[in-house]
Amino acid sequence: MRNAFVTGAYGLLGGWLCKALLDAGVRVVVLKRDEVPLSGLRLEGTEARCAVVHGSVTDGELMSRVLTEYEVDTVFHLAAQTIVGAANRSPISTFETNVRGTWLLLEACRTDGRVQRVVVAASDKAYGPSDALPYREDFALQPRYPYDASKAAADLIARSYWHTYGLPVAITRFANLYGGGDPNTSRLIPETVSAALAGRPPVIRSDGSAERDYLYVEDAVQAYLAIARALDEGRARGEAFNAGSGRPWSVREVVELVCEAAGTRVEPDIRGTGTPAGELDRQYIDGSKLREATGWAPAVDLRDGLVRTVEWYRGHPEALIRLPELR
């Protein structure tokens, strides 16, 4: 791996992945569509170490030019519209970015001919509702809502590029990622950290009972790198991999652990009943396939990961959300 192209570099995972690649001596090219002032990529100074290309993943000609001019051998495709509520309100823009953007980039990789490894971020949300848990990779993808459907479509399209064209691509279906530097301030953990550090009650927009699997961002980075290595060894091509902690945590439990990590005694302000429309009640995954293929396993449990997350925000107070009402 010499020259890596990272889409979605200004997101939570992208910022940490770029830092790890740069520290390993890889030249990193990132795609920048909008200004993201709260991104960890900027706040930690990682952006200055990257080659920055301005544009959108939905520009197929630009994707081809980037791959050619920077002699890209590795692609990490993380770019997506990731907010479930936004997808429900505006499905077209979500499908444009998450689905069309994926096939345009994969087509650029196919026609370029020099790309040796591609890792595409799908999501555990692609599985849809299931009475059988945890999710395993051999489960059918049965999404119901726009974001989930967009990720399932990207997943299927990416795998078709291996089976049809031999493009060395693997797909990730990871649990909810968390850590310092998340620019999506409407997400549960950055909102709760900001509230806890300010000493105000964290607001929960549901009844707090919905359960999710959570994966610390640095563990996710190591999983991506492990998958990229497995592509070189021929053990991951055309395959999808789960990664997570392997157990579900309720929203209420997560909020309580954040408050504990922040050293505050505030009680959450619960404003909802049930689970918000367009979201599932309970999700968690089985990560044994990735462990067996690569030896990867999460090293950071949720309690420790939230302590690290709180400390990151203490060190970067400019990233905290300062609005009195968040939801």
Place of tokens 């900027």: 42
Q: Distance (Å, rounded) from C-alpha 275 to C-alpha 282?
A: 10
Please answer whether residues 185 and 320 qualify as being in contact, where contact means their C-beta atoms are separated by less than 8 angstroms.
no
Contact 296, 223 (CB under 8 A): yes
Active site residue 147: yes
Structure tokens at 155: 């997943």
- Please, are residues 268 and 208 in contact by the beta-carbon 8 Å criterion? yes
Strands lying side by side in the sheet with 27-32? 51-54, 27-32, 3-7, 74-77, 117-121, 169-174, 240-243
Q: Are strands 27-32 and 3-7 parallel, antiparallel or unpaired?
A: parallel
Instruction: Check: CB of residue 53 under 8 Å from CB of residue 32.
Output: yes
* Cβ neighbours around 112 below 10 Å, total: 17
How is 89-134 classified by DSSP, letter by letter? Answer: H-HHHHHIIIIIHHHHHHHHHHHH----EEEEE--GGGG---SS-S
Q: Pairing mode, if any, of strands 211-212 and 249-250? A: antiparallel
The residue behind tokens 């909008």 is 34
Measure CA of the first residue to CA of the last residue in the chain; give whole Å: 42
- Among the listed residues 127, 147, 224, 284, the single catalytic one is 147
Of 113, 74, 39, nearest to 316 by C-alpha is 39
Which of the residues are catalytic? 147
